[in-house]
Amino acid sequence: MELQDKIAIVTGAGSGIGRASSLLMAKQGAKVVLVDFNQTTGEETLQLIKEQGGEAIFVQADVSNSKDVQNYVQTAVDTFGRIDVFFNNAGVIQKFAPLAEVEDAEFDRIMSVNVKGVFLGMKYVLKVMENQGSGSIINTASTAGIRSEHSASIYSASKHAVVGLTKAAALEYVKKGIRVNAICPGGVKTALTSSVERMFTETGYVPEEVSVMRMGRYAEPNELAEMVVFLSSDKASYMTGSVVVVDGGLTL
């Protein structure tokens, strides 16, 4: 098992890539601290892990709130004694609109979760990993983090920031045994079946990952989870600061 006895934290564990990665990490032997804003879906993931014979706990938290972040990090340390893997994944999608039509409050909402949340998570987890002298962090960016995406300027900006934070942290902690990488999903099935799909109808805008289906389908969350587990594991020992695109050819 690739993550035997490793301690992992996963944010946004109640849905999509976060849930699939939590389940796969547990299957690979990790003990998982599940973090989500949504208590119901977070506890569902916990139940699914228990059903497959894995070990996990759930901590409700808003990743953009510093006290909540300190609490989930401390709970992980108090419960399991260390943090080997941090999948810094919780994020939100903006309401599609041309830049000049974006409401001020929408900017703050996207930035506080996607950028401040990712920053705070790394900040407190890095302190623990630095003391251990080891750890692997994976941040969820997006194909919107390496190029622009129509009608999603703030989301794109936030994901470019995730890429920037990933590279900065990778550089600063490379001598301390800590690896920091990012994944860039394109269109993933779960997100598209919920809030995003609703926005297509509301705004009349169909994003490129829907119109350009090079493989003729979206990604299954598990196709991202496989990469997350690989980056978490010692198999990826020479990878840090990498921005790994898993997009079915979307950005070709």
Q: Which residues in 21-40 contact ligand ADP (CB under 6 A)?
A: 36-38
34, 45 in Cβ contact below 8 A?
yes
Task: Given the residues 124, 155, 173, 218, select the one marked as catalytic.
Answer: 155
Is residue 17 a contact residue for ligand ADP (CB under 6 A)? Answer: yes
139, 85 in Cβ contact below 8 A?
no
Amino acid sitting at position 64 = S
CB of 92 to ligand ADP, least distance (A): 5
Alpha helices by DSSP H, listed for 37-152, are 39-51, 66-80, 104-111, 117-132
Q: From the list 3, 9, 18, 23, which residue makes contact with ligand ADP (rule: CB under 6 A)? A: 18
Q: Looking at residue 220, what DSSP letter applies?
A: P
**Residue 238 among the catalytic residues:** no
Q: In Å, what is the CA distance from 45 to each residue of 9, 90, 120? A: 13, 14, 23
As beta bridge partners, residue 246 has 185
Is residue 135 a contact residue for ligand ADP (CB under 6 A)? Answer: no
Q: From the list 3, 8, 9, 14, which residue makes contact with ligand ADP (rule: CB under 6 A)? A: 14
Instruction: Tell me the three state secondary structure of residue 184.
Output: strand
Choose the stretch contacting ligand ADP; rule: CB under 6 A; options: 11-19, 101-109, 174-182, 237-245.
11-19
Q: Which residues in 39-58 contact ligand ADP (CB under 6 A)?
A: 41
Q: From the list 2, 62, 130, 220, which residue makes contact with ligand ADP (rule: CB under 6 A)? A: 62
- Please state, in angstroms and rounded to a whole number, the distance separating the CA atoms of residues 96 and 168: 29
As beta bridge partners, residue 140 has 183
Q: Which residues in 198-237 contact ligand ADP (CB under 6 A)?
A: none
| Complex with ligand ADP: residue 7 or 63, whichever CB lies closer | 63
162, 12 in Cβ contact below 8 A?
no
Is residue 70 a contact residue for ligand ADP (CB under 6 A)? Answer: no
Q: From the list 32, 59, 64, 84, which residue makes contact with ligand ADP (rule: CB under 6 A)? A: 64
Q: How many chain residues bind ligand ADP (CB under 6 A)?
A: 23
Q: In Å, what is the CA distance from 238 to each residue of 2, 180, 184, 225, 242? A: 16, 11, 19, 19, 10
CB of 134 to ligand ADP, least distance (A): 26
Where does this chain bind ligand ADP (CB under 6 A)? 11-12, 14-18, 36-38, 41, 61-64, 90-92, 113, 117, 188, 190-191
Catalytic (active-site) positions: 155
